[in-house]
């Protein structure tokens, strides 16, 4: 473990993505809050330490901080965005608010590049403060389009003002790789077999040798991988999978997924709870209330089904969920850092405070593509692993407003048309996630020479590497025309179709 890295969280929504990138490069990494005690850092013995970005300004009284000089006594340091500003501020440089803020795409001109990157590099920035003067003994090695320091170098220190961890930064991973390999002299020894082995060891140790687990299946990749991993770790008789038909699934999804679960050898039971979910969601339009209601109903239903499983109720001590880090980081800072809340998730912020079961979430600190790699290592079929992400709350958060039987019918039929057309045109696997959103808006239309007053449907399709940032997919106009015509012709209740051309950020991928 001498090749591992420590990432200190100063509040960026992208902090865990830094660690994820290092893992992709086969370097084990962990995220801890910025105030992680120096004694624990020394005990961890990192080959390198990375300081994340964050929303604060270093000169604010309550700004998150860490002692950079102490960290440098442990290992080399890489500062990213806020991390670069903190290094400059503490080591004798000057940081100040800039009249020219830099958000989104930018270009950096390098005089001494970090690693195998071009001397002019396309990067992703998100900052309002700049390093006006670098510390003594440091030099500026990269300038932004605004002629601000975009990269600096000093004794055992590299620092960049942009975000090399995001997919939109050109060859950003090369900077991280060069930091690990060249400045820290670390060896790449972390790969999917090690990750799967590590997760199985952790899960086995947590659950023990006697307890049984109730596994909440949603039909998606994450919970399917968790169920398979736990089944291989504990054995099928101790892992009781429950797949709930919430009434919020896509067309024919319940039957198709149930058969797949049986084919891969999971110990699975189906539960029809569609009426309970519809009743529970009646009259609720607020997205946060929807998520929390769905989370509460999920737990209630799983606890109700404990007595119906072929094992003594008291032996089931754990509830397994397929929570991922994007769920966590958008709900709160999982590691105690100052990250800001974006929204709660049904399996994070939506859980009740008191539960009769303890939680086991083996992939909680992983991203979607990592989970897919682990699933492949565990032998899951490609058709299951490469399905587009589908949220736990299902179609409930793709209906803007109250969830009704009629709105579900409209959205389910429209979504089926959209996804079927993507598969027909061989576009499905070029897109990270695609879906429809039913808007609480009615507009006037004309059909068969008659006036209609029906709902508006939004199409959403994005490309992404990890779900933390995303771009909308550039469909050909003929494709959009064909999909729009087919939806308005086939799906009663829709007379207008629009396409969402917003990236993440500033939007999220889902609308709620």
Q: C-alpha 52: how far from its chain's center?
A: 17
Which residue from 211, 210, 200, 238 is spatially nearest to 317, judged by alpha carbons? 211
Instruction: Read off the pLDDT of residues 398-437 as tens digits, 9 standing for 90 and up.
Output: 999 999 999 999 999 999 999 999 999 999 999 999 999 9
Compute the average pLDDT of residues 335-361: 53
Instruction: Read off the pLDDT of residues 193-241 as tens digits, 9 standing for 90 and up.
Output: 888 988 999 999 999 899 999 998 888 889 999 999 999 999 999 999 9
Do the strands 48-51 and 149-154 form a parallel or antiparallel pair, or are they unpaired? unpaired
In this prediction, what percent of the chain has a pLDDT beyond 70?
Answer: 94
Whole-angstrom Cα distance, residue 306 to residue 288?
28
| pLDDT higher than 50, residue 285 | yes
The more confident residue out of 130 and 38 is 38
The more confident residue out of 437 and 468 is 437
Whole-angstrom Cα distance, residue 94 to residue 88?
6
In this prediction, residue 331 has a pLDDT band, given cuts at 50, 70 and 90, of low
Just list the catalytic residues: 81, 163, 165
Whole-angstrom Cα distance, residue 7 to residue 344?
24
Residue 333: predicted pLDDT = 47
Residue 328: predicted pLDDT = 65
Contact yes or no for 406/455 (Cβ under 8 A)? no
């Amino acid at each position: 473990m001498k090749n591992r890295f420590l990432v200190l969280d100063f509040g960026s929504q992208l902090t865990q993505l830094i660690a994820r990138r290092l893992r992709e490069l086969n370097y084990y990494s962990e995220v801890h809050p910025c105030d992680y005690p120096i004694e624990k850092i020394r005990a961890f013995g990192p080959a390198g330490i990375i300081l994340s970005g964050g929303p604060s300004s270093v000169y604010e009284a309550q700004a998150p901080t860490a002692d950079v000089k102490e960290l440098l006594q442990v290992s080399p340091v890489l500062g990213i965005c806020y991390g670069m500003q903190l290094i400059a501020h503490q080591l004798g440089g000057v940081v100040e608010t800039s009249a020219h803020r830099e958000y989104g795409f930018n270009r950096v001109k390098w005089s001494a590049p970090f690693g195998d990157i071009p001397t002019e590099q396309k990067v992703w920035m998100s900052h309002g403060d700049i390093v006006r003067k670098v510390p003594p003994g440091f030099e500026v090695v990269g300038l932004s389009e605004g002629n601000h320091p975009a990269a600096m170098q000093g004794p055992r220190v590299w620092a960049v003002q942009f975000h090399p961890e995001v997919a939109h930064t050109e060859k950003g991973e090369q900077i991280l790789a060069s930091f690990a390999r060249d400045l820290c002299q670390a060896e790449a020894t972390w790969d999917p077999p090690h990750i799967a082995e590590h997760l199985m060891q952790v899960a086995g140790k947590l659950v023990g040798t006697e307890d049984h687990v109730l596994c909440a299946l949603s039909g998606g990749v994450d919970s399917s991988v968790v169920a398979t991993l736990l089944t291989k770790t504990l054995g099928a008789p101790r892992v009781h999978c429950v797949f709930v038909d919430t009434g919020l699934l896509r067309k024919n999804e319940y039957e198709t997924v149930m058969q797949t679960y049986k084919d891969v050898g999971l110990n699975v039971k189906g539960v029809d709870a569609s009426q309970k979910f519809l009743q529970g969601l009646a009259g609720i339009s607020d997205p946060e209330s929807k998520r929390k209601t769905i989370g509460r109903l999920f737990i209630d239903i799983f606890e109700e089904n404990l007595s119906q499983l072929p094992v003594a109720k008291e032996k089931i001590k754990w509830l397994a969920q397929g929570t991922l880090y994007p769920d966590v980081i958008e709900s709160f800072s999982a590691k105690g850092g100052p990250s800001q809340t974006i929204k709660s998730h049904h399996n994070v912020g939506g859980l009740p405070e008191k539960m009769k079961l303890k939680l086991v979430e083996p992939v909680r600190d992983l991203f979607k593509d990592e989970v897919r790699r682990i699933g492949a290592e565990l032998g899951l079929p490609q058709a299951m692993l490469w399905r587009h992400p589908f949220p736990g709350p299902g179609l409930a958060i793709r209906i803007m407003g109250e969830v009704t039987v009629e709105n579900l019918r409209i959205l389910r039929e429209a979504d089926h048309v959209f996804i079927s057309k993507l598969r027909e045109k061989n576009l499905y696997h070029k897109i990270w996630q695609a879906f429809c959103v039913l808007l609480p808006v009615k507009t006037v239309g004309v059909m068969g020479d008659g006036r209609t007053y029906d709902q508006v449907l939004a199409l959403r399709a994005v490309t992404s590497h990890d779900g933390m940032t995303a771009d909308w997919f550039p469909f050909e106009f003929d494709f959009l025309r064909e999909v729009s015509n087919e939806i308005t012709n086939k799906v009663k209740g829709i007379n207008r179709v629009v396409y969402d051309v917003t990236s993440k950020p500033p939007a999220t991928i889902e609308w709620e």
